[in-house]
Amino acid sequence: MTGATRAGDLPGRVVVRAPGKVNLALQVSPVGDDGYHRVVSVFQAVSLYEDVTAQRSNGLSMTASGPQSELVPLDASNIAWRAAELLAAEVGIEPDVHLHLAKGVPVAGGMAGGSADGAAALLACDALWGTGVPRARLLELAGELGADVAFPLVGHTAVGTGRGELLTPALVRGELHWAFGLRHAGISTAASYGRFDERLAAAAERGGDVPTAERWDDEPGVELMAALRAGDAEGVGAHLRNDLEAASCELEPALLEVLDVARAAGALGVVVSGSGPTVAALGRSPRHALALAAAMTAAGVVDDVVTATGNVPGARILTLPV
């Protein structure tokens, strides 16, 4: 243990808040010989949050509350559970903690709610146990948990490469205002990538000019990054990109209707977030984002809507009572 060593010096409960995300761009390579897809992802943290409470306990346990919390596994298949185990193994202690997840990011919605839980659990357990793991190492541990887990620790806007875990902060001016159309029927990331591979294989059989694992768009779009630097919301909207979108729409054709409704309502840009099924519509202002959300609701094409602001900070400790 590299932090505080006396039990009396350590808090009994720590609450950490971590943001969900939207993918402004998701560029995906064909699957490589190692069985993985490489990605270039422009992540933006948005004001939808997961609050993870870590409390002293004998052994490891977990509860959850909030929208769709009944869908959240409360065992070793949960990324927050695995985060606690990973950190404990890193410092050579038992994972004695009770984790409570207060859900605020759509479950299985392509907005990294589970990844935010994992990031928050790492930070909360580090504070609870007084382990003092350096921030750089926490980011490495997050990368071991999953491709998207490091980003909620960093927040704001960043370019992710590799499998998404290698992050470079992006220069952004101003705020972006989002309306998210939510559907309760989730799309698994594995299924979306699988259909993406099938689509590439079918295109190759037809003689199409398809990318290869060695030849694909491995840099973020110049126009998108320039629009972010300039604070040009219209430019950002015009250059949103998701290489998985067509695959996800094949798996869930109703997404096409959501995309069409948001475009007809005047969104600056519309994109499926990650593997979906959440549809992100970019508004001109907070009021316009509310109007986009109302349009999706009125059309009956979504199960719920939320609005949020983009470019918020990463995971942070909310309370640290002794």
Residues annotated as catalytic are 21, 148
Q: Which of 282, 305, 203, 289 is nearest to 25 (CA)?
A: 282
Q: Would you call 72 exposed, middle or buried from its count of C-beta atoms within 10 A (0-12, 13-18, 19+)?
A: buried
- Which pairing describes strands 241-242 and 157-161: parallel, antiparallel, or unpaired? unpaired
Closest by CA to 14, choosing from 78, 87, 76, 69, is 87
Q: Which residues contact 183 (CB under 8 A, 6 or more apart)?
A: 109, 252, 254, 255, 258, 277, 278, 302, 303
Question: In degrees rounded to 5, what are phi and psi of residue 139?
Answer: -65, -40
Closest CA to 109 of 262, 277, 313: 277
